[in-house]
Amino acid sequence: MFKLTQALKFALPFLAVTSVYAASSALEIQARANDSAQCVVQATPILSFTSSQWIWTSELTSPDGSAPIGSRAFRKTFLSPQGKTPSFLTIGFASDDEATLWVNGNAIVTQVGWENPGSYCVSLENCDCGFLIAFNATNTGGQAGLLVDAVVTYTDGSTSPIVSDSSWRTTTGGIPNGFQQSTFDDSAWETAETEGGNGVAPWGHVQPAGAAPQSLATSQWIWTNEPSPGSYPIGARALRYTMTLPPGHTSGTATVMIVVDDQYSLYINGRFIGTGTNYITPQKYVAAFQGPKVVLAVYGENVGAASNPAGLLASIQVTSQDNLSYCSNCNSVTYAITDNSWKAFPGPVPSGFEQPGFDDSAWPQAFEVGPNGVSPWNTIAPPTTVTTGGTPLPGAPAGSA
């Protein structure tokens, strides 16, 4: 088991837009939305993993549940009861070590690690009475498992649960081509082996984003990969994190908790959000944004007369909406922390770095200085009040309007 810190990387939207939305025009969707007799508007269910089992293939070995390194396919075909029309699917999953989710052949999201699972809403408006959930789950060593909790909401407001259990189909040895398509025949596959419910070792209790209050508990202090992490050169550095939302999720709200040793200005999708100037007092911001991406950019400054500790500690929770849902707000909730999935530029701040279109592909990964609580910082508690207003630090970009 490799205990990867949480990182989220979403499937490229172009993989998914092709067929989920193909059958309905925006006008048709709007017409259905206007026809209130067609559905009872439903809130997005809160997931819990309470009835879910960790599952894997029959390749698990006793006593510790380790499995061969590699990717395995998992499939669950769901048929709705007669007379029920699915409206949307709310689904969350945790995977040791990572997994990509497909619904009816459309890539929805790739999640790395199991500690901070998201909760994803997938519109099912064109899928008739049945649909297919498929995973490519990858074990990079040691124990392996996949834990899934989902709820299908029908147009009449009623729901059905779907959880990972021994009814799921899987196969040993590798992943056949086309495994994620509804037309693929999995009748010769084995059924999944169960490894215990939520809370079982080695994973412990898993909670989906949105079910627990946001905090900084699992965040890492990060900075650049410059030498001597305990004593960085003074001056400003640029750090960036990009979250691509699930397909069709084009707007939402981001809640950011953030502190920098020594001070920072924060930007979301190029817009200035706020400035903090105390290295142990975090701030909390709530900002609306337009998707399909959320780019956090931090102008972080290490001040002093000589080299000294520097770091950025943050968490971000994003709630976004499917643009075509008509029987609900179809919310997805995703959670990310500061870790080495951020990018950090080890030199003077490049001009325009705060803009979402800026190309950071050549930047190195951020360096993880240590978890919240590591010396020389005290444990940083989550801020409770929302900060508004402020101006960029001297030298920091103004940001777009």
Instruction: Name the minimum Å distance from CB 208 to ligand NAG.
Output: 21
Contact 137, 29 (CB under 8 A): no
For residue 255, the minimal CB distance to ligand NAG (Å) is: 23
Told to check if 356 binds ligand NAG by CB under 6 A, we report no
Q: Are 375 and 229 in contact (CB under 8 A)?
A: no
Element (H, E) at 15: helix 13-20
- Which of 13-21, 86-94, 215-223, 344-352 is the region at the interface with ligand NAG (rule: CB under 6 A)? 13-21
Tell me if 248 contacts ligand NAG by CB under 6 A: yes
For tokens 């990969």, name the residue: 225
- Stretch of 21-29, 49-57, 75-83, 309-317 lying at the interface with ligand NAG (CB under 6 A): 21-29
| Site map 111..150 versus ligand NAG, x via CB under 6 A | -------------------------x-x------------
Query: Cα dihedral sign for 29, 30, 33, 34?
Result: negative
**Closer of 78 and 184 to ligand NAG (Cβ):** 184
C-alpha closest to that of 290 among 255, 251, 321, 241: 251
Q: How far is the CB of 351 from ligand NAG (least distance, A)?
A: 30
Query: In the complex with ligand NAG, which residue's Cβ is closer, 57 or 136?
Result: 136
24 part of the interface to ligand NAG, by CB under 6 A? no
Nearest to 286 by CA among 261, 266, 312, 313: 266
- The two tokens of residue 195 are 């490894």
Q: How far is the CB of 37 from ligand NAG (least distance, A)?
A: 13
Question: What's the CA gap between 375 and 372, in Å, rounded?
Answer: 9
By CB under 6 A, tell whether 4 contacts ligand NAG.
no
In this chain, which stretch among 164-172, 247-255, 260-268, 341-349 interacts with ligand NAG, using CB under 6 A?
247-255
Query: Which helix or strand (DSSP H or E) is residue 132 part of?
Result: strand 130-139
DSSP β-bridge partners for residue 320 = 252, 332
Hey, what are 261's tokens? 């040793």
Site for ligand NAG in 159-198 (CB under 6 A): 175
Question: Toward ligand NAG, which CB reaches closer, 107 or 349?
Answer: 107
With CB under 6 A as the contact rule, the residue among 66, 250, 253, 329 that binds ligand NAG is 250
Q: Nearer to ligand NAG by C-beta: 137 or 216? A: 137
Beta bridge partners of 319: 253, 333
Helix (H, G, I), strand (E, B) or coil at 141: coil
Strand-pair partners of 370? 221
Q: Indicate which single residue of 3, 18, 19, 26 sits in contact with ligand NAG (rule: CB under 6 A).
A: 26
Write b or e for each residue in 55-69: b if 16 or more Cβ atoms lie within 10 A of its Cβ, otherwise e: bbbebbeeeebbbee
CA distance 337 to 43: 27
Q: How far is the CB of 311 from ligand NAG (least distance, A)?
A: 30
Computed on alpha carbons and rounded to an integer, the radius of gyration of the chain in Å comes to: 22
Angle at 379 between CA 374 and CA 385, to 5 degrees: 140
Nearer to ligand NAG, 210 or 248 (CB): 248
Does 71 participate in binding ligand NAG (rule CB under 6 A)?
Answer: yes
CA 266 to CA 285: how far, in whole Å?
10
Q: How far is the CB of 20 from ligand NAG (least distance, A)?
A: 8
Please, which of residues 90-109 interact with ligand NAG by CB under 6 A? 100
Q: Contacts with ligand NAG in 381-400 (CB under 6 A)?
A: none
Provide the binding-site residues for ligand NAG, judged by CB under 6 A.
Answer: 13, 17, 21, 26-27, 30-31, 34, 71, 100, 136, 138, 175, 247-248, 250, 292, 323-324
